[in-house]
């Protein structure tokens, strides 16, 4: 059960085994063992896993079926203004699992502003 959940969460983030293991500070083979079911993570390790994947230990163990992220936000949709840097301070925007730099975001904002200006003239 835990192995399936880990693989699903990691692939959703488009992370490799090596990258995930590095984030956790463990060997690649160790984390791979978790996903293959060959090993079970220790109590300390599973706390780190839940933290890294932003979910609950209960979800990893299959006790509950909802990941905590969805559980908290499914009722209230949040506003996220992309030009507000302090709002984005605690959000890491990614595309294909890779971080979005501030420069890239600024380029996008400029692009959208120009696009809207042109559309407004019609």
Which residues sit at the interface with DNA, rule CB under 7 A? Answer: 7, 16-19, 25-30, 32-33, 35-36, 38-42, 44-45, 120-121
DSSP 77: P
How many amino acids of this chain bind a second copy (CB under 8 A)?
55
32 binds, among a second copy, DNA, none (CB under 5 to 8 A by kind): DNA
Question: 96: alpha, beta or left, given left = phi > 0 and alpha = psi -120 to 50?
Answer: left
Contact call for residues 42 and 48 (beta carbons, < 8 A): no
112 binds, among a second copy, DNA, none (CB under 5 to 8 A by kind): a second copy
What track of x and - describes contact with a second copy for positions 20 through 49 (by CB under 8 A)? --------------------xxxx--xx--
User: Under the criterion CB under 8 A, does residue 58 sit at the interface with a second copy?
Assistant: yes
Q: Which residues contact 111 (CB under 8 A, 6 or more apart)?
A: none
Distance of alpha carbon 81 from alpha carbon 88, whole angstroms? 8
């Amino acid at each position: 059960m835990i192995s399936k959940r880990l693989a699903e969460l990691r692939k959703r983030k488009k992370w490799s085994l090596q990258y995930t293991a590095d984030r956790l500070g463990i060997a690649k083979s160790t984390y791979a063992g978790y996903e293959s079911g060959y090993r079970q993570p220790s109590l300390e390790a599973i706390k780190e896993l839940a933290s890294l994947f932003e979910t609950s230990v209960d979800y990893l163990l299959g006790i509950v079926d909802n990941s905590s992220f969805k559980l908290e936000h499914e009722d209230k949709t949040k506003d996220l203004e992309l030009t507000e840097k302090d709002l984005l301070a605690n959000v890491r925007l990614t595309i294909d699992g890779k971080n979005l730099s501030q420069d890239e975001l600024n380029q996008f904002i400029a692009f959208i502003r120009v696009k809207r200006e042109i559309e407004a003239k019609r």
